[in-house]
């Protein structure tokens, strides 16, 4: 899954590195918080990076006489926490790119996004869900499988977009020559059929061993903190939601068939809107365009925002498990 | 076996050769992993000596910047003549390497280029030979630059360079610890594998049964190492900052070392299109 240099355009590489900078910043901040209670996390980061390197080196036999290796993203997230795993895997990828030539230097951002962010976080989220629903191992297995396949899918998309993003005037691709119709099946087939199962087996076996021998060495999710700042932020955003009304035009691609027809006429493209849009399915929502009859539009926006927040909070609250019976 | 003077007194059952049926196919992957680990350990134990052939040492951060400038330029450029110029530049740099280093460079470079081309080879039927050749040229140039950097830069210089470029201390420390403990953990893993191999008389029901114990133990060992290392760091007065990498003061020669890359960039900007 390590994308080498020259398979992604410099623009893609630059964008992905830029996208990774806030993730790394948050990871460093989160790990610093973790360090206050677990000081051994600091050297553990480096040692976990070495562990990830060895996991990626170790080949496992698979049916058919060949071998495949695990990545260990989900496993590390469960063992040392997702943010620490993100940093440890980033360092592993940096080492592999700079010292061993595995994965590109320019493509470092892309590889970090796929293997140091998507894989551990998807895996850890599934594990936590499994833990909440009292099916820890099932959650971990699903997480390991989904994590690696999601990372492979994103890698396939990154590679497959290149012929569309960077090509010569004659249409010849400048970087990865395969389109999405080739890269996505190629990446997913290998991971869905082989690598995903190797990851599941590897993750489960090591997790079971550590849980049996030293359960205290598993990462303990920190206790839930005060959610008030988040609620305040969400309410603040809801109050600010009518700001978009300052723009008079409709957003690109959100036109009604009539508006679209007017634009097509103005641009001398056509005199009527596409038939599929005119006679297509039209759902009339209860509060169409966030407007509530009898109220100013801006107030309708704010009320819609608050309603949505309330619905989502109720939904999350309903799905939560009661952890402490004494609080009932 | 032909009986010798000493073996003639031995009982017959000891003199006859018995071949023990070994499940070679079943344990091939085990042996292969051991071999990979040994290769890694020998590489880490005796890293390729870094060549210092220049009259002055370029500051590590300038080396990193030069590598990035060249790799980005190769990725961006579509001009074959400019790429040719870049090939001449790296070729000129390679001339300063000692013959043994040069042979090592060529070997590893050819292997990495072959691996990269293998992936893109089917595009010959999709996009024609020009895409394949152009892609091959650019990829091989990028790999050559990265390989040259690896051959001429010790790991400590990489850390110093990152520190000089204001990379967060946490990341530099993690990187430093990772490279140090990679060897220790690798050694531990290899020894455990060898011990398991020697102690396991009967064939295991399934090789996957060993994996959990192998890597689970390795994780617990890592945890123990982390605790010991933190205690040692605290004993030495660790204050949360990475201070080992001493930053070199920049010299006009460092800027001079960047000029070839900057000249090619200028050529690309003004005449590249």
pLDDT of B99: 83
- A85 is written with which tokens? 């795993």
pLDDT digits (tens, 9 = 90+) for A84-123: 999 999 999 988 888 777 888 888 999 999 999 999 999 9
Chain A interface disruption, residue of B68, B145, B178, B228, most A CBs within 10 A: B178
Mean pLDDT of A232-243: 81
Which residue's entry shows tokens 């605290």? B234
Q: Measured between beta carbons, which residues in chain A are less than 8 angstroms from residue B112?
A: 101
Asked if A33 has any chain B CB less than 8 Å from its own CB, the reply is no
Contact A90 B185 (CB under 8 A): no
Is residue A80 scored above 60 in pLDDT?
yes
Tell me how close the Cα of B249 comes to any Cα of chain A, in angstroms.
24
Mean pLDDT of A185-208: 89
Q: Which of A61, A79, A217 lies closest to B207 in CB terms?
A: A61
> What is the topology classification, in CATH, of domain A10-327?
Arp2/3 complex 21 kDa subunit ARPC3 (1.10.1760)
Q: Is B187 exposed, middle or buried (0-12, 13-18, 19+ CB in 10 A)?
A: middle
Identify the H or E element spanning A60: strand A59-62
pLDDT of A250: 75
Say if residues A148 and A120 touch (Cβ distance below 8 Å). no
Q: Measured between beta carbons, which residues in chain A are less than 8 angstroms from residue B189?
A: 54, 58
pLDDT tens per residue across all 273 residues of chain B: 455 555 567 777 777 776 555 555 556 778 888 888 888 888 777 655 565 555 557 788 888 888 888 888 888 888 888 888 888 888 888 888 888 888 888 888 898 888 878 777 777 777 677 777 888 888 888 888 888 888 888 888 888 888 888 888 888 888 888 888 888 888 988 998 888 878 766 665 566 777 888 888 888 888 888 888 888 887 877 766 666 555 556 677 777 777 888 888 888 887 765
Residue B206's alpha-carbon distances to A62, A140, A294, B211, in angstroms, are: 12, 22, 72, 10
Asked if A13 has any chain B CB less than 8 Å from its own CB, the reply is yes
Select the more confidently predicted residue: B7 or A316. A316
pLDDT digits (tens, 9 = 90+) for A169-192: 777 788 888 888 888 998 888 888
* Percentage of residues in chain A having pLDDT higher than 90: 24
Candidates B216, B221, B180, B214; CA nearest to B194 is B214
Phi and psi dihedrals of B98, rounded to 5?
-65, 155
Select the more confidently predicted residue: A152 or A60. A152
Contact A28 B222 (CB under 8 A): no
b/e for A118-144, b at 16 or more Cβ within 10 A?
bbbbbbbbbbbbbbeeeebeebbbbbb
Q: Which A residues in the span 164-193 are in contact with B, Cβ-Cβ below 8 Å? A: 168, 172-178
Q: Which A residues in the span 297-326 are in contact with B, Cβ-Cβ below 8 Å? A: none
* Mean pLDDT score across all residues of chain A: 84
Asked if A83 has any chain B CB less than 8 Å from its own CB, the reply is no
Is residue A290 scored above 80 in pLDDT?
no
Candidates A59, A118, A99, A3; CA nearest to B211 is A59
Which residues lie below 8 Å from residue B188, measured CB to CB, with a gap of 6+? B218, B221
Contact A40 B230 (CB under 8 A): yes
Is residue A323 scored above 80 in pLDDT?
no
Q: Using DSSP bridges, classify how beta strands A59-62 and A66-69 pair: parallel, antiparallel or unpaired.
A: antiparallel
Read off the pTM: 0.76
Tell me how close the Cα of A229 comes to any Cα of chain B, in angstroms.
28
Candidates B74, B168, B40, B105; CA nearest to A96 is B40
Domain boundaries along the sequence of chain A: 10-327
Chain B interface disruption, residue of A3, A177, A207, most B CBs within 10 A: A177
Q: Which of A32, A43, A51 lies closest to B219 in CB terms?
A: A51
Candidates B94, B64, B70; CA nearest to B262 is B70
Select the more confidently predicted residue: A313 or A140. A140
Phi and psi dihedrals of A61, rounded to 5?
-75, 140
How many beta-carbon contacts under 8 Å exist across A and B?
Answer: 205
Each as own residue / partner, the long-range contacts of residues A317-323 (CB below 8 Å, 24 or more positions apart, any chain) are A320/A132, A321/A132, A321/A133
Contact B29 A28 (CB under 8 A): no
pLDDT of A328: 43
Contact B178 A92 (CB under 8 A): yes
Is residue A151 scored above 90 in pLDDT?
yes
Which residues lie below 8 Å from residue B96, measured CB to CB, with a gap of 6+? B51, B53, B54
Contact A10 B150 (CB under 8 A): no
pLDDT band at A327 (very low <50, low <70, confident <90, very high): very low
Q: Which of A4-8, A154-158, B166-170 is predicted most confidently?
A: A154-158
Say if residues A257 and A277 touch (Cβ distance below 8 Å). yes
- A325 is written with which tokens? 């019976």
Phi and psi dihedrals of B6, rounded to 5?
-80, -35
């Amino acid at each position: 899954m390590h994308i080498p240099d020259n398979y992604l355009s410099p623009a893609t590489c630059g964008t992905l590195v830029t996208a990774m900078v806030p993730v790394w910043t948050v990871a460093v901040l989160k790990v610093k918080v973790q360090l206050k209670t677990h000081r051994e996390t600091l050297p553990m980061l480096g040692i976990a990076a070495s562990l990830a390197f060895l996991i990626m080196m170790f080949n496992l036999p698979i049916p058919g006489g060949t071998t495949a290796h695990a990545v260990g993203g989900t496993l590390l997230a469960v063992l040392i926490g997702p943010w620490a795993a993100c940093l440890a895997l980033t360092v592993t990828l940096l080492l592999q790119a700079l010292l061993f030539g595995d994965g590109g230097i320019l493509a470092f951002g892309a590889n970090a996004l796929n293997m140091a962010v998507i894989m551990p976080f998807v895996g850890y989220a599934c594990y936590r869900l499994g833990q909440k629903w009292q099916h820890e191992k099932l959650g971990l297995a699903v997480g390991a499988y989904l994590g690696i396949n999601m990372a492979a899918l994103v890698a396939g998309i990154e590679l497959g977009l290149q012929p569309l993003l960077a090509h010569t005037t004659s249409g010849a691709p400048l970087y990865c020559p395969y389109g999405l119709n080739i890269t996505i099946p190629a990446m997913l087939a290998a991971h869905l059929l082989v690598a995903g199962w190797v990851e599941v087996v590897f993750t489960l076996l090591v997790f079971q061993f550590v849980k049996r021998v030293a359960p205290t060495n598993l990462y303990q999710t920190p206790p839930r903190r005060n959610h008030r700042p988040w609620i305040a932020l969400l309410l603040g955003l809801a109050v600010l939601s009518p700001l978009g009304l300052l723009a008079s035009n409709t957003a690109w691609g959100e036109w009604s068939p009539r508006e679209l027809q007017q634009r097509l006429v103005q641009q001398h493209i056509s005199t009527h809107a596409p038939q599929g849009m005119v006679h297509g399915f039209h759902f009339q929502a209860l509060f169409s365009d966030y407007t509530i009859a009898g109220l100013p539009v801006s107030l309708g926006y704010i009320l819609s925002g608050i309603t949505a927040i309330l619905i989502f909070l109720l939904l999350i609250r309903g799905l939560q498990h009661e952890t402490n019976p004494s609080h009932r | 076996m032909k009986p010798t003077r000493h073996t003639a007194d031995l009982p017959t059952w000891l003199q006859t050769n018995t071949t023990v049926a070994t499940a070679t196919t079943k344990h091939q992957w085990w042996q292969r992993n051991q071999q990979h680990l040994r290769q890694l350990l020998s590489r880490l134990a005796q890293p390729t000596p870094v060549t210092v052939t220049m009259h002055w040492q370029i500051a590590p951060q300038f080396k990193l910047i030069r590598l990035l400038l060249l790799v980005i330029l190769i990725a961006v450029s579509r001009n074959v003549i400019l790429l040719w110029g870049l090939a001449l530049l790296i070729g000129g740099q390679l001339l300063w390497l000692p013959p043994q280093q040069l042979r090592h460079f060529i070997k590893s470079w050819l292997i990495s280029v072959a691996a990269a081309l293998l992936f893109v080879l089917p595009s010959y039927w999709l996009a024609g030979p020009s895409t394949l050749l152009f892609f091959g040229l650019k990829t091989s140039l990028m790999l050559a630059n990265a390989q040259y950097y690896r051959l001429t830069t010790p790991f400590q210089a990489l850390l110093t360079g990152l520190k000089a470029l204001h990379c967060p201390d946490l990341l530099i420390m993690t990187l430093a610890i990772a490279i140090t403990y990679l060897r220790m953990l690798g050694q531990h893993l290899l020894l455990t594998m060898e011990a398991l191999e020697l102690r396991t008389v009967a064939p295991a029901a399934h090789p996957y049964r060993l994996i959990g114990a192998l890597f689970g133990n390795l994780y617990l060992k890592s945890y123990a190492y982390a605790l010991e290392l933190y205690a040692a760091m605290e004993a030495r007065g660790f204050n949360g900052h990475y201070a080992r990498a001493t930053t070199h003061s920049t010299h006009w020669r460092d800027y001079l070392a960047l000029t070839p890359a900057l000249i090619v960039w200028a050529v690309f900007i003004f005449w590249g299109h």
